[in-house]
Amino acid sequence: MRIAAIWIVLLGAACVAAGLYGAVHNQVSYTISPDYFHAFKFKQFHVAPGLQNRVGASWVGWQAAWWMGVVAGGPLILVGRKLFADWSIVRPVLEAYLVLTITALLIGGGALLRAYLVIDAAHLPPFWIPPDAVDPVAFSRAGELHDASYAGAVIGVLSGAVWQVYRSRRGTSGAV
């Protein structure tokens, strides 16, 4: 019963962290391209007209990301459970969440840098751009950031799992 409570708290923490990541991430995206939200995301998430601003962008980020806490946190909790005893699972799993976050930031940041280097009016990516997009270049750059961030989360789960294995083999207290 005790380990189940730990799992629930860790999974809840992952969902909150993922939601906050999404909210902050969308502040960066909104800075790059408000058009990405006005021509696409606000419609997709049915955001009320009065919230179609930075607050709405954060809300969209929360909605789009909180569930990644289950997708990403679940496997990291399972790895931690395999490697560490009951209460000693908490710190390595939280560290794995940090590794995941840093990985997603680096991959998203790298994709954004790449987008600024290669995307211009003559070189737009082949994905869909809504007809009412005012600035297709900025829209595409924000889209690249969003796509890469999800990929970064998936790679981050692997990085977090590897971190936990490394930590357990290093002889950190609590290893089973």
Say if 136 falls within a structural domain: yes
pLDDT tens string, the chain, 176 residues long: the values are 677 888 899 999 999 999 999 999 999 999 999 999 999 999 999 999 999 999 999 999 999 999 999 999 999 999 998 998 767 889 999 999 999 999 999 999 999 999 999 999 999 988 889 999 999 999 999 999 999 999 999 999 999 999 999 999 886 544 44
pTM to 2 decimals?
0.89
Q: How many structural domains does the chain have?
A: 1
Say what the alpha-carbon torsion angle 40, 18, 30, 133 is, to the nearest 10 degrees: -20
Range of the domain at 138: 2-169
Query: Does residue 174 fall inside a structural domain?
Result: no
Report CA-CA distances (Å) from 27 to 87, 129, 168: 36, 20, 36
pLDDT of residue 173: 47
The answer to whether residue 15 is domain-embedded is: yes
pLDDT of residue 170: 84
In a domain, 19, yes or no: yes
User: What per-residue confidence (pLDDT) applies to 1?
Assistant: 63
Q: Establish if 28 belongs to a structural domain.
A: yes
User: Is residue 176 domain-resident?
Assistant: no
Domain assignment present for residue 175? The answer is no
> Which value, to the nearest 10 degrees, does the dihedral of the CA atoms of residues 144, 147, 152, 155 take?
-130
Q: What is the pLDDT of residue 3?
A: 78
As separate numbers, helices (DSSP H) first and strands (DSSP E) second, the chain gives: 7, 0
